[in-house]
Structure 1
Amino acid sequence: MTGIFSIVGSALDAQNLRMSAVASNLANADTATAPGAQPYRAEEPVFEAAPVVDAGSGAALGVSVLGVDQSAAAPHQTYDPSSPYANAQGYVTGSNVDRAQEMVNMIDSSNSYSASVAVLEQASRIDQQMIQSFQVS
Structure 2
Amino acid sequence: MDYLSAFQISASGMAVEKMRLDLTTANIAAMHTAAPNAASVYRPMHVVAQAVPLSFAQRFGEMSVSGGGARIVAVQGDASPPRQVYEPGHPYADAKGFVNYPAVDQVAEMLNVNTALRAYEANVAAMSAARTMAARALDIGGAQ
Q: TM-score, normalised by structure 2?
A: 0.87
Paired position in structure 2 for 1:93? 100
Contact 2:38 2:82 in 1 (8 A): no
Paired position in structure 2 for 1:112? 119
Q: Matched residue of 1:61: which SS?
A: coil
CA drift of 1:35 comes to: 2.9
Candidates 71, 77, 90, aligned match of 1:70: 77
Larger displacement relative to structure 2 (94-103 or 36-45): 36-45
Candidates 29, 46, 49, aligned match of 1:47: 49
CA RMSD of aligned residues (A): 1.8
Q: TM-score, normalised by structure 1?
A: 0.91
Asked if residue 84 in structure 1 is aligned to residue 86 in structure 2, the reply is: no
CA drift of 1:52 comes to: 7.8
CA drift of 1:51 comes to: 4.2
Contact 2:12 2:71 in 1 (8 A): yes
Structure 1: runs of 5+ lacking an equivalent: none
Q: Give the counterpart letter for 2:93 in structure 1.
A: A
CA shift in 2, pair 1:58/1:36, >3 Å: closer
Structure 2: runs of 5+ lacking an equivalent: 56-62
CA drift of 1:58 comes to: 4.5
CA drift of 1:127 comes to: 0.4
Q: Give the counterpart letter for 1:132 in structure 2.
A: D
Q: Give the counterpart letter for 2:68 in structure 1.
A: L
Larger displacement relative to structure 2 (58-67 or 93-102): 58-67
Paired position in structure 2 for 1:133? 140
Q: Give the counterpart letter for 1:120 in structure 2.
A: M
- The C-alpha deviation readout for 1:23-81, integer Å capped at 9, x for no partner, is 1001100010013642011100100111489xx93433211111110012221100111
List 4+ stretches of structure 1 deviating above 2 A: 56-60
Greater share of strand: 1
Q: Give the counterpart letter for 1:24 in structure 2.
A: A
Q: Matched residue of 2:79: which SS?
A: coil
Greater share of helix: 2
CA drift of 1:10 comes to: 0.5
Paired position in structure 1 for 2:6? 4
